[in-house]
Structure 1
Amino acid sequence: MLTKEQILAAACLKTKTVEIPELNGEIIIRTMSGHDRDAYTDLVRDRDAGSSYFAACLVVTCAVDAQGNKLFDAGDIDALRALSGPMLTNLANEIAEHCGFTATA
Structure 2
Amino acid sequence: MALNRDAILGAVDVQTEKVPVPEWNGDVIVRGLTGDELDNFQGSIRQFRPTFDGKGMEPVLVQDGMRAKLLVKCLVDEAGERLFTDQDAPALGAKNGSVIDRLYDVAARLSGLSEEEKAEMEGNSGTLEEAVASTSSSPETSAAPSQNY
Task: Assess same fold via TM > 0.5.
Answer: yes
Aligned to 2:35: 34
Label 1:26 to 1:102 Cα distance change in 2 as closer, same or farther (>3 A). farther
CA distance in structure 1 between the aligned counterparts of 2:104 and 2:45, rounded to whole angstroms: 14
Shift of 1:35: 1.7
Q: Deviations over 1:16-38 (max 9, x none)?
A: 10111111111111111112112
After TM superposition, the score normalised by the length of structure 2 is 0.62
| SS class of match (1:66) | coil
Q: What is the aligned length?
A: 101
Q: What are the equivalent positions in structure 2 for 1:67-82 lying under 5 Å apart?
A: 67-82=79-94
Identity %: 32
After TM superposition, the score normalised by the length of structure 1 is 0.85
Structure 2 contact 34–111 (Cα < 8 Å) conserved: no
Structure 2 contact 33–74 (Cα < 8 Å) conserved: yes
Stretches of structure 1 lacking an aligned partner (at least 5 in a row):
none
Q: Greater CA radius of gyration, 1 or 2? A: 2
Give the structure with the larger helix fraction: 1
| SS class of match (1:16) | strand
Stretches of structure 2 lacking an aligned partner (at least 5 in a row):
48-60, 116-149
Structure 2 contact 14–33 (Cα < 8 Å) conserved: yes
Structure with the larger RCO, 1 or 2 (CA within 8 Å, 6+ apart): 1
CA distance in structure 2 between the aligned counterparts of 1:24 and 1:65, rounded to whole angstroms: 16
Q: 1:64 aligns with which of 73, 76, 87?
A: 76
| SS class of match (2:81) | coil
Q: 1:92 aligns with which of 89, 104, 111?
A: 104
Aligned to 1:48: 62
Q: What are the equivalent positions in structure 2 for 1:7-26 lying under 5 Å apart?
A: 7-26=8-27
CA RMSD, Structure 1 to Structure 2 (Å):
1.6
